[in-house]
Amino acid sequence: MQTYRRDIMAIGIKDIARLAGVSTATVSRALSHPGRVSPETRAQVMAVVEEHDYRVNSFARSLRVRRADAVLALVPNLGNPFFSEIIAGIQDGLTPAGLDLLVTDSLSQQARRQSPVTHLQAARADGLICLDGALPAGILDDLAASDVAGRVVFACEWPDGRGFPVVRSDNRAGMALAVQHLVGLGHRDFALLTGPEGNVLTRERREGAEAALAQAGLSLPPSRIAGGSFEIRDGFRAAGDLMRMPSRPTAILCSSDQLAIGCISGLSELGVRVPQDVSVVGFDDIALAAYSRPPLTTIRQDRRRLGRIAAERLLSSLSGKPLAETLTTLPVEIVVRRSTAAAPAG
Amino acid sequence: MQTYRRDIMAIGIKDIARLAGVSTATVSRALSHPGRVSPETRAQVMAVVEEHDYRVNSFARSLRVRRADAVLALVPNLGNPFFSEIIAGIQDGLTPAGLDLLVTDSLSQQARRQSPVTHLQAARADGLICLDGALPAGILDDLAASDVAGRVVFACEWPDGRGFPVVRSDNRAGMALAVQHLVGLGHRDFALLTGPEGNVLTRERREGAEAALAQAGLSLPPSRIAGGSFEIRDGFRAAGDLMRMPSRPTAILCSSDQLAIGCISGLSELGVRVPQDVSVVGFDDIALAAYSRPPLTTIRQDRRRLGRIAAERLLSSLSGKPLAETLTTLPVEIVVRRSTAAAPAG
DNA sequence: TTGAAAGCGGTACCAT
DNA sequence: ATGGTACCGCTTTCAA
């Protein structure tokens, strides 16, 4: 397909060996196992290495040691800024171990009619961190295959009942926090803006909300559930739908900050005041949450930490240590700002 | 450093050859140059390949063909969601060519005391797309070295006077658009919120604003220039600084949407109404811009397209075609929403 | 059209 | 501590 090739021949280990007056074996050792070489030899070799700015050809090395020193992160959609923090966290976890990060999104994988498993099988990556919980069953089967086992961890999202290791935020507890906050403020009429149908986060957050509501003796009629994606525009649209109903909710639980911001925007357009008329709470605590108007009350999940921990889990799994726990649930907290207030009297 | 290795031995080309009753050469050809193999042989080989889900070991292949089929994207900061659209665009440009995307940020590169050049020299990537215009001079020297020439393109940001190929938005024209819009609305008192000191975008946008202002017979006194980063919190802070001044601006040009949103947030806290008291315009048109309160008037740059074009430029440079132009400047447009209005009488 | 075999650039075993 | 060398898995002449 491609026809180019690296033009110039980079300097190789043989050149270094010749220049330093030692064997290639010694150069290799000086570089990878400095302890196994006499200090003088090492110094000698390193001098030549520095002088010529020699770099080990990573393919030759990987071919020999059967290791890529790279991890693949699979994101549902690269264009979605929500994932950037998690990716940054993954990078944080990988960097100390000297591993590289490969990134793709599910969309372009499909475009190439490839599965992320290809990368593992083709030895391009040692492991996979998957941020997409909605992979097709066929791909999940591949991922569960023995030759790939122990090289995959899910982060943030995950597929159900597959037994993969997963690192996630405590989505249920988060929604419970939101409900309790609102109930404490006197709210009784709730609505919920959900994420996409079939998404685990959608389900967990909904169930978390329903459970907490039930505990307060409240419930969520189907007519009070709207949404269908995590995106702003759907929050905007849902606000209209909700306000058009005969009995209006006084509190809206949103499954993402984007949804919440869109919702508030929609409410404003309709002349509904937040938080005087209705309170809204988000989920995620994205950077903008503190600066939207009004500043958003939301559930903070530490996405960077989530990414880092996922990377660390994968790394220890790769080095053969069995994971202490398959399911790691990170705590969340509520950040009360000004999009929530006491329920309007009446 | 790492001690793990891929546990199982994946099936190799020799196995396929044996199973199909042909030589490895034929298997290789059947896979890479189907035309050079008889239809029967090809079918025979492909059957075995499919059956065992065989994948070419990419390292062995890359070692042999001296090509990585991967491109490295260097982002200043992976955690910054601003870049995700560009990355997605790069992916768009790479996918049709079958190339993989490696991603790192400048921060973790430094942490590893590596330069992106290492990836190129170590043959891990065929080319580099750099979104960081503020690389240290030493690294830029490396990038300019002959053995790396033609394998680098800058996108969005770029270093000055180095002659690297760059793909960017028309930052000056964008600011000019903003100024003209505001001048048309009767504004005479401008302020500018800039990005970080030393950043090219900061400079281009400032110069664009100043030039357009000059053309309208207006100017921007130093006291009316604030900012110092593209981030929300600095927009928030700058709003305070600006409003504390004896003579207040009626229009604030922001070098990013983040800055604009922070600024509006800060103004609101001070009781200053947008757009009745002051108009503010952003730059970028991020997804949230349309949904902030008030919806943000801003300069739209097509970040996805920018990424895609950068990838395409790199690809053609890698395949030896000289670039038609070193500097590619993409058009921007103004999106008028509701954060701008006629200057208050007075 | 097909096969034999020589590497690609390292690493690590086995001697010394 | 060091060197010789087989080999990692694939691609690509070169011959047949």
Rounded mean pLDDT of A60-80? Answer: 92
H/E stretch holding A317: helix A303-318
Residues A107 and A221 in one domain: no
Give the residue from A196, A260, A190, A262 showing the smallest Cα distance to A227. A196
pLDDT for residue A180 is more than 70: yes
Domain identity same for A277 and A310:
no
Nearest Cβ partner for A111 among B82, B95, B112: B95
Report the 10 Å Cβ neighbour count for B251.
Answer: 25
* Tokens, residue A95: 């960097």
Question: Taking CB atoms and an 8 Å limit, are B57 and A92 in contact across chains?
Answer: no
B2, part of any domain: no
State how far the Cα of A179 lies from the Cα of A213, in Å rounded to an integer: 7
Render B172-206 in DSSP notation, one character per residue: HHHHHHHHHHHHHTT---EEEEE-STT-HHHHHHH
Q: What is the CATH number of the domain that holds A86?
A: 3.40.50.2300
From the CA atom positions of chain B, what is the Rg in Å?
26
Say whether B304 and A123 touch across the interface (CB within 8 A). no
- Closest C-alpha among B209, B207, B208, B256 to residue B235: B256
**Residues 6+ positions from A108 with CB-CB distance below 8 Å:** A78, B91, B92, B95
**B220/B290 same-domain check:** yes
Instruction: Find the mean pLDDT for residues A179-198.
Output: 97
- Band of the pLDDT at A117, cuts 50, 70, 90? confident
pLDDT of residue B9: 55
pLDDT digits (tens, 9 = 90+) for A256-298: 999 999 999 999 999 999 999 999 999 999 999 999 999 999 9
Lowest pLDDT segment from A169-178, A251-260, B136-145 = B136-145
| B285 in the same domain as B193 | yes
* Alpha carbon separation from A149 to A145, A311, B11, B173, B254 (Å, rounded): 6, 16, 16, 53, 50
Same domain, B162 and B258: no
Q: How many residues does chain A have?
A: 346
User: Taking the model in full, what pTM does it have?
Assistant: 0.92
| CB B210, CB B237: distance < 8 Å | no
For B1, the closest of A53, A98, A121 (CB atoms) is A98
DSSP, collapsed to helix, strand or coil, labels residue B147 as: coil
Say whether B98 and A112 touch across the interface (CB within 8 A): yes
Contacts of A95 in chain B (CB under 8 A): 108, 111-112
> Are the Cβ atoms of B112 and A95 closer than 8 angstroms?
yes
A186 and A253 share one domain: yes
Chain D nucleotides covered by protein, CB below 7 Å: 1-5, 7-13
* Tens digits of pLDDT across chain B (346 residues): 334 444 445 789 999 999 999 999 999 999 999 999 999 999 999 999 999 999 999 999 999 999 999 999 999 988 888 899 999 999 999 999 989 999 888 888 777 777 888 888 887 899 999 999 999 998 899 888 877 888 999 999 999 989 999 999 999 999 999 999 999 999 999 999 999 999 999 999 999 999 999 999 999 999 999 989 999 999 999 999 999 988 899 999 999 999 999 999 999 999 999 999 999 999 999 999 999 999 999 999 999 999 999 999 999 999 888 777 889 999 999 999 999 999 998 6
Nearest CA in chain B to A102: B102
Whether residue A4 lies inside any domain: the answer is: no
Distances, alpha carbon B327 to alpha carbons B139, B142, B199, in Å: 21, 21, 18
CA of A60 to C1' of D4 (A): 19
Give chain B's domain count: 3
**Taking the alpha carbons of B106, B110, B112, B116 in that order, is the dihedral positive or negative?**
positive
B52: containing domain? 13-56
B322 and B275 in a common domain = no
Look at residue B114 in the predicted model and tell me its pLDDT: 78
- Asked whether the beta carbons of residue A84 and residue B81 sit closer than 8 angstroms, the reply is yes
C-alpha–C-alpha distance, residues B53 and B45, integer Å: 12
Domain containing residue A30: CATH number: 1.10.260
Is residue B343 one of the residues assigned to a domain? no
Fill in the DSSP letter of residue A292.
S
Partner residues linked to A102 by β-bridges: A72, B102
* Separation CA B130–CA B260 (nearest Å): 26
> In Å, what is the separation between the CA of A63 and the C1' of D9?
8
- Are residues B287 and B311 both part of a single domain? no
Taking a C-beta distance cutoff of 8 angstroms, is the pair A71, A127 a contact?
Answer: yes
Asked whether residue B255 is domain-assigned, the answer is yes
Contacts of B318 in chain A (CB under 8 A): 2, 4
- Give the C-alpha separation, B284 to B307, whole Å: 14
Give first-to-last CA distance, chain A, whole Å.
69
Residues A296 and A309 in one domain: no
**Confidence label for A8 from pLDDT (cuts 50, 70 and 90):** very low
Å: A29 CA to C12 C1': 9
Q: Could you tell me if residue A346 is inside a domain? A: no
- Residue B345 included in any domain: no
What's the CA A26/C1' C14 distance, rounded, in angstroms? 15
pLDDT, residue B6, reads 41
Let me know whether A322 and A274 are in one domain.
Answer: no
The reply to whether A36 falls in a domain is: yes
Please count the CA atoms within 13 angstroms of the CA of A241 that sit on its side-chain side.
18
Query: Nucleotides on strand C with an atom closer than 7 A to protein CB?
Result: 1-5, 7-13
- Tell whether B6 lies on the interface with A, counting CB pairs under 8 A: yes
A135 SS3 class: coil
- Are B183 and B289 members of one domain? yes
Q: Are A78 and A160 in a shared domain?
A: yes
B63 and A60 within 8 Å at the Cβ level: the answer is yes
Q: Is the dihedral of CA A158, A252, A290, B242 positive or negative?
A: positive
Phi, psi dihedrals of residue A94, rounded to the nearest 5°: -85, -40
Q: Is residue A38 part of a domain?
A: yes
- Give A202-230 pLDDT, tens digit per residue: 999 999 999 999 999 999 999 999 989 99
